[in-house]
Amino acid sequence: MLINGARLPSEDRLMDVGVRNGLIVYVEPSGSDIAPAAKTVENGHGGVLLPGLVEPHIHLEKAYLLSRMEREAASLQEAIAMTADMKHSFTRSDMKERSLAVIREAVRNGVTHMRCHAEVDPILGLTAFEAALELKEQVRHALDLQIVVFPQEGISKSPGTTELMEEALRLGGDVVGGITYQDADLDGHLDCVFGLAEKYGKPLDFHADFFDNPEQVAIVGIAERTIASGMQGLVSAGHVTSLGSMPYEQAAAVAELIGKAGVHIMSLPATDLFINGRGDREKPRRGLTPVRMLMEKGVNVVIGVNNVRNPFTPFGKADPLETAWLLAVTAYMGGESDAKQLIRMLTDGAARALGLTDYGLGLGKTADMVLFGETSERDILLNKPESRTVWKRGVKVADSRTVSNLIGV
Q: Which residues bind Zn ion (CB under 5 A)?
A: 306
Q: Least Å distance between CB 150 and Zn ion?
A: 8
The sign of the CA dihedral 207, 212, 218, 219 is positive
Burial class from Cβ neighbours inside 10 Å (0-12, 13-18, 19+) for residue 32 reads: exposed
Q: Which is nearer to Zn ion, 65 or 380 (CB)?
A: 65
Closest residue to bound Zn ion by CB: 306
Partner residues linked to 390 by β-bridges: 370, 398
Antiparallel, parallel or unpaired: β 111-119 and 144-150:
parallel
Q: Which is nearer to Zn ion, 15 or 266 (CB)?
A: 266
Reported as half-sphere exposure (CB side, CA atoms, 13 A), residue 117 has a value of 27
Q: Least Å distance between CB 353 and Zn ion?
A: 14
User: What is the enclosing helix (H) or strand (E) of 349?
Assistant: none
Reported as half-sphere exposure (CB side, CA atoms, 13 A), residue 251 has a value of 21
Q: Which is nearer to Zn ion, 289 or 389 (CB)?
A: 289
Q: Least Å distance between CB 317 and Zn ion?
A: 16
Q: Least Å distance between CB 204 and Zn ion?
A: 14
Label residue 300 left, alpha or beta by phi (over 0 means left) and psi (-120 to 50 means alpha).
Answer: beta
Q: How far apart are CA 240 and CA 217, in angstroms?
A: 8
Q: Least Å distance between CB 309 and Zn ion?
A: 14
Q: Which is nearer to Zn ion, 300 or 307 (CB)?
A: 307
Q: Least Å distance between CB 63 and Zn ion?
A: 11
Q: Which is nearer to Zn ion, 17 or 95 (CB)?
A: 95
CB 181 within 8 A of CB 218: yes
Q: Which is nearer to Zn ion, 239 or 392 (CB)?
A: 239
Q: How far apart are CA 301 and CA 264, in angstroms?
A: 6
Q: Which is nearer to Zn ion, 16 or 205 (CB)?
A: 205
Q: Which is nearer to Zn ion, 354 or 398 (CB)?
A: 354
Strand arrangement, sheet containing 53-58: 53-58, 111-119, 144-150, 175-179, 204-208, 235-239, 264-267, 301-303
Choose among 88, 143, 95, 79: nearest CA to 121: 88
Q: Least Å distance between CB 57 and Zn ion?
A: 6
Q: How far apart are CA 98 and CA 181, in angstroms?
A: 27
Q: Least Å distance between CB 271 and Zn ion?
A: 7
Q: Which is nearer to Zn ion, 218 or 398 (CB)?
A: 218
Q: How far apart are CA 228 and CA 221, in angstroms?
A: 10
Q: Which is nearer to Zn ion, 127 or 306 (CB)?
A: 306
Query: C-alpha angle 231/264/116, rounded to 5°?
Result: 100
Q: Least Å distance between CB 64 and Zn ion?
A: 16
Q: How far apart are CA 286 and CA 292, in angstroms?
A: 14
Q: Least Å distance between CB 371 and Zn ion?
A: 30
